[in-house]
Amino acid sequence: MKFIYEKSEDDMLYKHAMKRITELVEEVFQICDEVADENQYEREWVLDRFREQFSKAKRTR
């Protein structure tokens, strides 16, 4: 029974983490939208630049 409990706890942790990641994605989209609006940039351009910078930062961390 202990194994089942641990798996269930792991599942709960995973689901919580994925929920938070989904929220984080939405937060980033909102910030990118704000940056685009405030600076009169195209939304897709801002998202593309974010992806580029994120990828660079991820490689150097």
| pLDDT at site 5 | 57
pLDDT < 50 stretches in the chain? 1
Tokens representing residue 42 in the block:
């195209």
Name the maximum alpha-carbon separation found in the chain: 58
CA separation, residue 4 to residues 7, 8, 11, 30 (Å)? 5, 6, 10, 39
User: Does the model's pTM come out above 0.85?
Assistant: no
Q: Tell me how far apart the alpha carbons of residues 57 and 21 are, in angstroms, rounded to a whole number.
A: 18
